[in-house]
C-alpha cells in the first residue's frame, strides 16, 4: 500500500513539472510572436514586400559529336540571352523600362522577337483573311477596324503615353510578346538571343532601368564544318509545341531538340540535365542576389566511326562526278542531279564515310529556319533533306549478279567448270525472251563463259540461265544472307528496307497480279524486277563478299562518352537504338560459303578493274592498289538509267568497301572514278587535289 502511494506521488510530480515546462515554452513563443508581429513587424513586412525568389534554368551544355579521330563536328558555343519576368511596377514604369531595354538592344544591333501583327508607316496588317479575323475576335477589335485604329486600340490597352509612333510600336511589340508568351513572376519570356558582352555589361550596370530582366547563359548548337556530313549529323532546332507537350516534364518551351540524324537518334544522350539558379529580386524587378541551387550536367559526347577528312573527300568526289555526268563529261549529258556514296570497313561494318548529294547546311535550322531557306530546300526537286544512302532504294542492276553467282555455285546449279553459251537472246520462254546487253550493242552473244568471266563481262545470259535452273527461292535465300531487302540497323531515322524481289513480295506490291512468272526470275537475277536496295545495304553486301562471307553489323557509332567519364557499352547502345527506332532483331540463316566459290566470284570482280575487257579497266588500269569491282546500270523511271559502282580493296586483304550510286547517271562505269579517288585518299595515294584527279574516262560502249 505504501509502495502504491509513492508511485502515485511520483507520477503527479512529473505531470506538474511537464505542465510548468509547457507553460514556460508557451510564454516564450507568445513573446517571440509579439516581437515578430508587433515590435519588428513593419521591418519584416518591408523585407517581404521587397524580395522575391525565382528559379532560373541553368542550361546544360549539349554533347559534342565528333569523328573517329576526335575532330569536333558539332559543338555548342555559349551565348547570352535576355529574358523578362513580371515585376511589381506600375504600367508607366514598365513601358519606360521596356523602351530603355529596346534602345540598348538596338544600340548593339541585337534582334528581338517581333510578332505584333500591325506595321506602321504605313499602317497595315501583317496577317490576312481568316488569321486576321480570328485575331480581331480574340482581342475584341471591331471586324471593320483599320490597322491604324487597331494600333491605337492597343496603345490605349497598354497605357502607352509616348507620342512618337515608332517608340509606341517598340513598346507595343514587347508588351504583346509578354502577353502572348504568358509571362509571370515565375515564368520568363525570351526577348533577345545572342546579345554581345557590351550589351550585357550595360544591362548589368544599370539594372534599375530595366524592370524584370534577367540575362542567362545558354549553349547554342554550332556545326563546325558547314555542310559536312549533314545527313549523318542531322540538326537540332527549337522544340515545337507538339513535342513539348510530350516532353514537358524534361523540356522547356524554348529548348532545342534533335530533329534529324544523330542529333535526333541520340537526343537523350546529347541533351544533358539542366541545373537551377536561384535569383533574389526586388519587387521592382532588379536582381539582388544569385546562387546556384543545382549544377547542370553536360550531355554525353558521341564519337562517330566516320573520318572527317575521308568524308570530305567522299562528298567532293561524288559532287564532282554528278556535275561531270550532268554536263556531258563522258560524251553525253544525263539528267542527273542526285546520288549517294558509302564507305565501309569490311570487317567491322563501321561506316567510314557516307555522302548524299545534294546536301544541306544544318546551321540553317538552328533557332528556327527562315521561310526563305525552307522554301529553298522544300522546292528543290533533288530533295536535299533526304539521305539517299539510307532513305531511298534503287534497282541495283548488274551489281546484284554476284549474289546470283554465289547462289548458283552454293546450290550446285553451276560449278567452277560450268560454261554457258551466250547466244545473245535467251529463248527458253516464248512470251519472254530477254537479250544480253552485248547482243544489243554488237548483235551477237559473248559465247561460252564461266562464272568468273561472266562477272567480268557482266553477261546477262549466263545469269538468266543460272537463275532459271536454280529458281527464285534459292536466289532470295542467298540475297537475304547478304542483307539485301532488310534494314541495316544503321543509327539513323527513317531507314528504308527496300524490296527483295520474291514470290512473297510480289503479292504485296502487285496484289492484282500476284502470280510469279518465269520471266520475273530472269529479271531478278540481273538486279531488276522489283529489286530495290539502299546504298548502305549494298555496302554491307559488298563487305560480306569481301570479308569471306562473314555477316557484319552496320554502325555509325564508335562510342558514347558520358559526362562522368564512363562509356556506354555496345549492348546499351544497341538496345537504345533499337527502342528509339523501333527496330527488331531479324535472324538470318547461317550459310558457310565455300571459299573456292567465293574466290571465283571475287576474281571476276578483280577482272572488272584489271583486265582490258573489264567494264572499269579504263578507270583503274594505272591504280597502285588492286581493286575488286562491279559496274551496274539499272533501269529507272522515265527511261532513265541509274549508275552504280561497287568495289573493295586491297583485293588480297580487303579493308574497305565503297558503293556509289548516281540517279539517272547513265552508265555504271561513269561512277567508278568516285571510288578510285576515295581509295586514293584512304590508302594515302593522293598527291594532288581531287579536282585535278577528275580526268575524263574515254567513252566506251560497254553499258554494264
Structure confidence by residue, pLDDT tens digits, 104-160:
999 999 989 899 999 998 999 999 999 999 999 999 999 999 999 999 999 999 999
Confidence at residue 30, expressed as pLDDT on a 0 to 100 scale? 47
* Alpha carbon of residue 271 to chain centroid: 15
CA angle 506, 512, 518 (to 5 degrees): 45
Pairing between β-strand 301-304 and β-strand 65-66 as defined by DSSP bridges: parallel
Distance CA 632, CA 526 (A): 9
How confident is residue 33, by pLDDT bands cut at 50, 70 and 90? Answer: very low
Confidence at residue 57, expressed as pLDDT on a 0 to 100 scale? 78
DSSP string, 626-688: --EEEEEEEEEGGGEEEEEEEEEE-SSS--EEEEEEETT-S-GGGGHHHHHHHHHHHTT---S
Confidence at residue 34, expressed as pLDDT on a 0 to 100 scale? 45
- Which cell numbers in the block locate residue 303? 564519337
Residue 492's Cβ-side half-sphere holds a number of Cα atoms within 13 Å equal to: 29
Distance CA 303, CA 69 (A): 9
Helices (H), 355-436: 371-378, 401-410
Give the dihedral of Cα atoms 583, 585, 588, 593; nearest 10 deg.
90
Q: Which of 422, 420, 419, 450 is nearest to 434 (CA)?
A: 422
Helix, strand, coil % in the chain, rounded to nearest 5 = 40, 20, 40
How confident is residue 703, by pLDDT bands cut at 50, 70 and 90? Answer: very low
Q: Which of 130, 178, 128 is nearest to 154 (CA)?
A: 178
Mention every residue, 6+ apart, whose C-beta is less than 8 A from residue 574: none
Distance CA 288, CA 82 (A): 17
Range with the poorest average pLDDT among 14-18, 563-567, 583-587: 14-18
Confidence at residue 589, expressed as pLDDT on a 0 to 100 scale? 84
Confidence at residue 277, expressed as pLDDT on a 0 to 100 scale? 79
Per-residue pLDDT, averaged over 366-374, amounts to 87
Give residue for cell 585518299: 681
Per-residue pLDDT, averaged over 636-647, amounts to 92
Confidence at residue 700, expressed as pLDDT on a 0 to 100 scale? 27
Residue-wise pLDDT for 294-336, tens only, equals 888 999 999 999 999 999 999 999 999 999 999 999 888 888 9
Mention every residue, 6+ apart, whose C-beta is less than 8 A from residue 699: 330, 331, 332
How confident is residue 167, by pLDDT bands cut at 50, 70 and 90? Answer: very high
Distance CA 449, CA 429 (A): 22
Per-residue pLDDT, averaged over 238-267, amounts to 91
Mention every residue, 6+ apart, whose C-beta is less than 8 A from residue 536: 342, 351, 354, 389, 390, 488, 490, 495, 554, 659
Name the phi and psi angles at 385, rounded to 5. -85, -10
Give residue for cell 553451276: 414
Q: Which of 413, 396, 299, 326 is nearest to 646 (CA)?
A: 396
How confident is residue 10, by pLDDT bands cut at 50, 70 and 90? Answer: low
Give the dihedral of Cα atoms 144, 147, 153, 159; nearest 10 deg.
170
Which percentage of the chain shows pLDDT scores above 70?
Answer: 89
Residue-wise pLDDT for 516-546, tens only, equals 999 999 999 999 999 999 999 999 999 999 9
Name the phi and psi angles at 619, rounded to 5. -80, -35
Confidence at residue 200, expressed as pLDDT on a 0 to 100 scale? 92
Q: Which residue has the higher pLDDT, 698 or 574?
A: 574
Q: In the predicted model, what is the mean pLDDT of the chain?
A: 88
Q: Which of 577, 615, 579 is nearest to 700 (CA)?
A: 615
Q: What letter does residue 427 receive in the DSSP assignment?
A: -
Residue-wise pLDDT for 570-604, tens only, equals 999 999 999 999 998 777 788 999 999 999 999 99
Amino acid at each position: 500500500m505504501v509502495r502504491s502511494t509513492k508511485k502515485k506521488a511520483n507520477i503527479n510530480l512529473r505531470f506538474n513539472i511537464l505542465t510548468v515546462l509547457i507553460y514556460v515554452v508557451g510564454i516564450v513563443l507568445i513573446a517571440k510572436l509579439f516581437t515578430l508581429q508587433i515590435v519588428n513587424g513593419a521591418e519584416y513586412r518591408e523585407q517581404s514586400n521587397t524580395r522575391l525568389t525565382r528559379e532560373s534554368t541553368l542550361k546544360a551544355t549539349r554533347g559534342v559529336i565528333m569523328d573517329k579521330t576526335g575532330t569536333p563536328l558539332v559543338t555548342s558555343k555559349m551565348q547570352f540571352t535576355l529574358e523578362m519576368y513580371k515585376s511589381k511596377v506600375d504600367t508607366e514604369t514598365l513601358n519606360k523600362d521596356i523602351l530603355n531595354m529596346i534602345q540598348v538592344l538596338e544600340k548593339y544591333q541585337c534582334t528581338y522577337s517581333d510578332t505584333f501583327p500591325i506595321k506602321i508607316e504605313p499602317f497595315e496588317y501583317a496577317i490576312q483573311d481568316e488569321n486576321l479575323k480570328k485575331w480581331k475576335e480574340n482581342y475584341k477589335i471591331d471586324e471593320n477596324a483599320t490597322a491604324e485604329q487597331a494600333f491605337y486600340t492597343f496603345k490605349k490597352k497598354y497605357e502607352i503615353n509616348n507620342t512618337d509612333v515608332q517608340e509606341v510600336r517598340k513598346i507595343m511589340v514587347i508588351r504583346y510578346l509578354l502577353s502572348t508568351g504568358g509571362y509571370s513572376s515565375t515564368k520568363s519570356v525570351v526577348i533577345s538571343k545572342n546579345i554581345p558582352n557590351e550589351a550585357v555589361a550595360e544591362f548589368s550596370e544599370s539594372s534599375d532601368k530595366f524592370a524584370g530582366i534577367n540575362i542567362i547563359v545558354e549553349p547554342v548548337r554550332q556545326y563546325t564544318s558547314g555542310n559536312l556530313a549533314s545527313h549523318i549529323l542531322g540538326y537540332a532546332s527549337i522544340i515545337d509545341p507538339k513535342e513539348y507537350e510530350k516532353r514537358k516534364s524534361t523540356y522547356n518551351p524554348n529548348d532545342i531538340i534533335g530533329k534529324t540524324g544523330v542529333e535526333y537518334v541520340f537526343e537523350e544522350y546529347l541533351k544533358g540535365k539542366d541545373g537551377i539558379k536561384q535569383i533574389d529580386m526586388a519587387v521592382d524587378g532588379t536582381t539582388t542576389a544569385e546562387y546556384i541551387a543545382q549544377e547542370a550536367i553536360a550531355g554525353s559526347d558521341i564519337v562517330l566511326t566516320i573520318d572527317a577528312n575521308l568524308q570530305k573527300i567522299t562528298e567532293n568526289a561524288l559532287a564532282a562526278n554528278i556535275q561531270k555526268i550532268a554536263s556531258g563529261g563522258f560524251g553525253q549529258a544525263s539528267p542527273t542531279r542526285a546520288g549517294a556514296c558509302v564507305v565501309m570497313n569490311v570487317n567491322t561494318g563501321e561506316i567510314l564515310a557516307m555522302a548524299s548529294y545534294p546536301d544541306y547546311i544544318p546551321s540553317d535550322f538552328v533557332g528556327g529556319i527562315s521561310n526563305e531557306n525552307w522554301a529553298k530546300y522544300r522546292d528543290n526537286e533533288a530533295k536535299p533533306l533526304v539521305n539517299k544512302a539510307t532513305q531511298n532504294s534503287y534497282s541495283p542492276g548488274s551489281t546484284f549478279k554476284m549474289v546470283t553467282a554465289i547462289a548458283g555455285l552454293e546450290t550446285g546449279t553451276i560449278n567452277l567448270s560450268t560454261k554457258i553459251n551466250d547466244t545473245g537472246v535467251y529463248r527458253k520462254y516464248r512470251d519472254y525472251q530477254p537479250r544480253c546487253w552485248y547482243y544489243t550493242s554488237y548483235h551477237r552473244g559473248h559465247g561460252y563463259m564461266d562464272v568468273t568471266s561472266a562477272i567480268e563481262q557482266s553477261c546477262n545470259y549466263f545469269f538468266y540461265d543460272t537463275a532459271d535452273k536454280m529458281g527464285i527461292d534459292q536466289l532470295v535465300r542467298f540475297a537475304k544472307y547478304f542483307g539485301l531487302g532488310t534494314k541495316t540497323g544503321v543509327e539513323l531515322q527513317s531507314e528504308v528496307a527496300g524490296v527483295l524481289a520474291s514470290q512473297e513480295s510480289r503479292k504485296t506490291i502487285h496484289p492484282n497480279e500476284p502470280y510469279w512468272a518465269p520471266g520475273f526470275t530472269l529479271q531478278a537475277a540481273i538486279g531488276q524486277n522489283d529489286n530495290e536496295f539502299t546504298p548502305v545495304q549494298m555496302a554491307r553486301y559488298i563487305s560480306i563478299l569481301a570479308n569471306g562471307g562473314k555477316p557484319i553489323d552496320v554502325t555509325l557509332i564508335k562510342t558514347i562518352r558520358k559526362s562522368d567519364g564512363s562509356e556506354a557499352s555496345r549492348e546499351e547502345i544497341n538496345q537504345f537504338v533499337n527502342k528509339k527506332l523501333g527496330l527488331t532483331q531479324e535472324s538470318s540463316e547461317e550459310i558457310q560459303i565455300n571459299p573456292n566459290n567465293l574466290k571465283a566470284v571475287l576474281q571476276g570482280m578483280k577482272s572488272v578493274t584489271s583486265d582490258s575487257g573489264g567494264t572499269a579497266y579504263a578507270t583503274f588500269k594505272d591504280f597502285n592498289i588492286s581493286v575488286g569491282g562491279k559496274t551496274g546500270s539499272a533501269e529507272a523511271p522515265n527511261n532513265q538509267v541509274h549508275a552504280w559502282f561497287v568495289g573493295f580493296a586491297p583485293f588480297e586483304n580487303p579493308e574497305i568497301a565503297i558503293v556509289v550510286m548516281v540517279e539517272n547517271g547513265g552508265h555504271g562505269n561513269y561512277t567508278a572514278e568516285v571510288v578510285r579517288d576515295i581509295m586514293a585518299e584512304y590508302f594515302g595515294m593522293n598527291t594532288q587535289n581531287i579536282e585535278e584527279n577528275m580526268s575524263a574516262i574515254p567513252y566506251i560502249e560497254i553499258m554494264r
